[in-house]
Amino acid sequence: MDTNDILARARDYLAKESDPDFRKQVEDLIAANDLKELEDRFYRDLEFGTGGLRGVIGGGYNRMNSYVVRRATQGMCDYLKASVKGKSLSACVAYDSRRYSAVFALDTALIFAANGITAYLFSALRPTPELSYAIRRLGADTGVVVTASHNPPAYNGYKAYWNDGAQVIAPHDTGIIEKVNAVRDIKSMPKEEALAKGLLKIIDKEIDEPYVAMVKSTLFRPELFARMAADVKIVYTPLHGTGALHFERVMGELGLSVATVPEQREPDGEFPTVSYPNPEEAAALKMALDLGAQLKADVVMATDPDADRLGIAVPNAAGGFSLISGNQLGALHLDYILLSRKELGKMPKRPAAIRSIVTTGLQTRVAQAYGAESHECLTGFKWIADVMRRFEETGLDFVYATEESYGYLVETDVRDKDGISAAAMTAEMTLYWRSKGKSLLERLDELFMEHGYHEEKGINKYFEGAEGMTIMKGIMERYRAKQPSAFGGVKVARIKDIKTGKEWQAGKPESAKDLDLPSSDVIQWYLEDGTMVTVRPSGTEPKIKYYILARTPVERDGLAGARAESARKISAIEADIRAVLS
């Protein structure tokens, strides 16, 4: 895109943006002739990825701002009215603690209202899973939560949901985008008018109360809490987000003692105590771990800003804390849920679990050990929700879903990952294994002994701006033009290209067969020793992501030997990947 096109798009944006702060940013860039920054803000429009809209806050079509939010909402209204006939329409709107979240949420609700769609707006910030729950409970036709999940403070986002409480997928995602791109006029109305006409309704307790009750109802052994909760200490951090409201209440009502990190308890979109409010990152849990050591906590828990992800750490034999990865906690959850259903006579006829394609194969092995099915889907909980829909159509019984990026779902009343219910299940699981004289780490080691040692490594490389998109596209094209024959000295046995929808044996293209997955820009290599390597450009951030999932049998050298061998394999594979990214 040349300079004239960029400037034309910038002036077009200025004619449409009503927010003075966002307007001034672009006006100042034009005045300073900062063409590089202008190009980054205008070379494309923000697109719906695995989580809807997400981007840096600021003026421009490639930014999160009032105009982009209003246009997206008008497009949603146009699509909804064209797709759903013969009934009064409604939408739920929630938001988290990020900068401009409350502003964007109110803008969204008022545009729904102006289009004759009743908007249910939460009175204050709420977790993302509660938005999904509200859609289903209120029978709404759509919903929006304003959040950028665990991204840095500069970001905000906009997740769009359909009437089942799940994030939109095809055909709704592309249908909404078509309507967004066709928007010429945006309808809105004053808040007072929307309230007076009953087109804007403020909600809180009527959703909070049943949501909390639902979370507690997912648990298997309430008697454990009555007997053991008083002896358990939990240290918790919401990382300046939405989680404290429900986390503290649920745990308190279960009788558990919770010490929330005071410096991180209050919502704050600047996230002043962390550089990255992500419970996947050890640095984000430092204050919680320090408090956990001080109070001799039995478990440390953290939720991300919109409380859909959960990270935990538990005491280890060395006197410190060990972080439990998303893959590991998911395996522990599935094991505990299936074990509990078996012990309590609650195993359904056709139990089935769901995992993303980059989640550990330990999940499948655990499921199969209990006679349950394990289904995989693309990365992103909207795809997990899609599989849940198919379960309902085919008679399979959902028991659990997870993805490696610290997302878990233990119930069917929510159709997105839920850090609050996952935390409650984790607390019960901790008590259960304690009652058996075991820690979570000891149970995890038992799973490794039974199913093989599973280790994982994620590698991310950021590529900002228009040039970055070209670089990432080039990496994927080069892989497809010449597939690697080995990683870390281990030969590739099988290849999946989910973009082309094909799977074949390495070196034998004639063996190709079709995949039963939606097209996505993902390549997976299955190595001869059972290790899997995956690459995909992120759908929500300007980065390319690699996943290494290694399984090593536990043999005569025991777990220590398996851990050492896994570390060696992963290090060699990582070296090959870094060579491509350098």
- Active-site positions read 149
Whether the link from the prior residue into 171 is cis, omega within 30° of 0, is yes
Going by C-alpha positions, the residue among 390, 454, 379 that lies closest to residue 417 is: 379
Token match 């190595």: residue?
527
DSSP string, 271-336: -TT-SS--TTSGGGGHHHHHHHHHHT-SEEEEE-TTS-BEEEEEE-TTSSEEEEPHHHHHHHHHHH
Which helix (H) or strand (E) segment holds residue 90: the answer is: strand 90-95
Between the CA of residue 53 and those of 69, 93, 155, 419, what are the distances in Å? 9, 15, 11, 21
Distance CA 112, CA 378 (A): 31
- Torsion angle, alpha carbons of 382, 384, 386, 389, to 10: -130
Distance CA 456, CA 486 (A): 18
Distance CA 95, CA 144 (A): 8
CA dihedral sign of residues 157, 160, 165, 166: negative
Between the CA of residue 404 and those of 169, 207, 241, 274, what are the distances in Å? 21, 29, 21, 22
- Torsion angle, alpha carbons of 285, 288, 289, 294, to 10: 170
Residue type, 476: M
User: How many other C-beta atoms can be found within 10 angstroms of the C-beta atom of residue 443?
Assistant: 20
| Burial annotation 449-472 (CB, 10 A radius, 16+ → b, else e) | eebbbbbbbbbebebebeebeebb
Between the CA of residue 104 and those of 100, 107, 242, 454, what are the distances in Å? 6, 5, 17, 42
User: How many other C-beta atoms can be found within 10 angstroms of the C-beta atom of residue 184?
Assistant: 6
Q: Which tokens is 248 given?
A: 């503290």
Q: Are 241 and 304 within 8 A, CB to CB?
A: yes
CA dihedral sign of residues 143, 145, 149, 154: positive
C-alpha 413, offset from chain centre: 17
Distance CA 327, CA 362 (A): 8
Please give the angle made by the CA atoms of 491, 522 and 368, to the nearest 5 degrees.
70
Distance CA 464, CA 62 (A): 12
